[in-house]
Amino acid sequence: MSDASTSGDVEPGHDHEHHHEGPGYATPQAAIEESEREQLAYVMSLYVGTDVDAPDFVAVVDLDPDSETYCEIVDRVEMPERGDELHHFGWNACSSSCHVDGLERRHLIVPGQRSSRIHVLDAADRRNPELETVIEPEDVFEYDLSAPHTVHCIPDGQILISMLGDADGELPGGFLELNEDFEIEGRWEPPGEIEMNYDYWYQPRQNVMVSTEWAAPKTYYPGFDLEDVEAGNYGRKIHFWDWEDGTVEQTIDLGEEGQIPLEVRFLHTPESTHGFVGTALSSNMFHFFYDVDADEYRAEKVIDFEAREHEDWDMPVPGLTTDILISMDDRYLFGSNWLHGDVWMYDVSDPSNPRRADSLSVGGTFGEVQEVRGRELAGGPQMLQLSLDGERLYWTTSLFSSWDDQFYPEEAERGSVMLKADVDPRTGTMELDEDFLVDWGDCPAGPARAHEIRWPDGDCTSDVWQ
């Protein structure tokens, strides 16, 4: 199914020729052409599950190769309390708000996954962000929600956060909406629309949002237990929502091949209904799309990463596909297999028939490269971020503190790292930059973990277009 066949499914009355007055870029192509090379990165950094008694922090990393502090953490914004488990975060505004005059991409919304505390950082000074305000857990629990995960800015200045549990860490989860003043507006959806929640992405021109499933916080907080999978305590469904009404219109059960669907992405072009979701435990990629003839969404498995035998495991080791992203030109799908130690790249010019382009074997259980710049790697490739021009891919190595401790216990002792590959979009190839390494093992309070990465001026996993 081509994007041309979905071009009629646009939101009635939406002015697609809107003027660019606010934050972000007018189109994905403008993001490629008008953006400058990333000079800084913000990285979620945490001490949860380590021997270090210190608050989590947002690290500011110098990515300017001409700088004297290249590959160094040049600032740390500490959270006011301990035990947050900083995980995912996002901006108050992005390209979906480019029509809003006066709105700035200025504030980072930084939730604590375990604490349900939501921090707001003022990043007007990009190199030295400051904590501005905090929403306390008790205020979140009033809406019978907890465990914040994905943060997206939504048009007109609001912020939407996926919440994985109720106030007691059980099911159901839901969505929490903040207004432009970073006050809780309330639940975004009517209660009871879903049970499990995790990641989401929206495509406003198609009036659709898609969300995925992990598990109840009380299930995944202690670590992974295969018995929970057998008991049906982990998700395998994706949900398609009416974006304007905040109601689920269709649910697809991905079955045994789709256990634990985590990260989900629509293509960047706002006309498209195509997207991908990675199923972590099954280690498969599903392509989803709107079937005009059937008047519904469909999902098909298009990539299968086979489990591998290892002498220290009683069962074949799954790849554990834990993160994916799509290049800004919608040509390449990148992903990480955290347990295998793979970073991979597929050509998705035809979304229904991905073609393997290249991969790197770095860290993890089977990685061919286990040392960079003399630093022994303690984990596998996890959270990814791609430069807007598609020429540099970065990744960190921590998944979730308790899961790190199960599968890579050395991560707590040595700290995470951030690595980089140089990408050639013309040839579809990647090469590990063996001179690049950011080491969280050198933090002043002691080794820390590192998770999600954001650029100051937008990136492939935060910006949405109308």
Structure confidence at residue 17 (pLDDT): 53
The kind and range of the H/E element at 230 are helix 226-230
Task: Scan for tokens 């286990």, then name that residue.
Answer: 370
Q: Which domains does the chain have, with CATH numbers?
A: 28-454 (2.130.10.10)
Structure confidence at residue 457 (pLDDT): 92
Residue closest to 73 by CA, chosen among 457, 416, 458, 388: 416
Structure confidence at residue 98 (pLDDT): 73
Question: Positive or negative CA dihedral for 398, 400, 402, 407?
Answer: negative
Structure confidence at residue 71 (pLDDT): 98
Full DSSP string of 361-430: EBSTTT-SB-EETTEEP-S----EEE-TTS-EEEEE----HHHHHHH-THHHHH--EEEEEEEETTTTEE
Q: How far apart are CA 186 and CA 202, in angstroms?
A: 19
Q: For residue 10, what is the DSSP state?
A: P
Structure confidence at residue 19 (pLDDT): 59
Structure confidence at residue 384 (pLDDT): 98
pLDDT in tens, 207-234: 999 999 999 999 999 999 999 999 999 9
pTM above 0.75, yes or no: yes
Structure confidence at residue 2 (pLDDT): 34
CB contact at 8 A, 93 and 104: yes
Which residue numbers in the chain have pLDDT < 50? 1-15
Contacts of 460 (CB under 8 A, 6+ apart): 268, 325, 326, 327, 328, 385, 386, 388
Q: How far apart are CA 235 and CA 216, in angstroms?
A: 9
Structure confidence at residue 22 (pLDDT): 75
Structure confidence at residue 86 (pLDDT): 98
Q: How far apart are CA 455 and CA 61, in angstroms?
A: 10
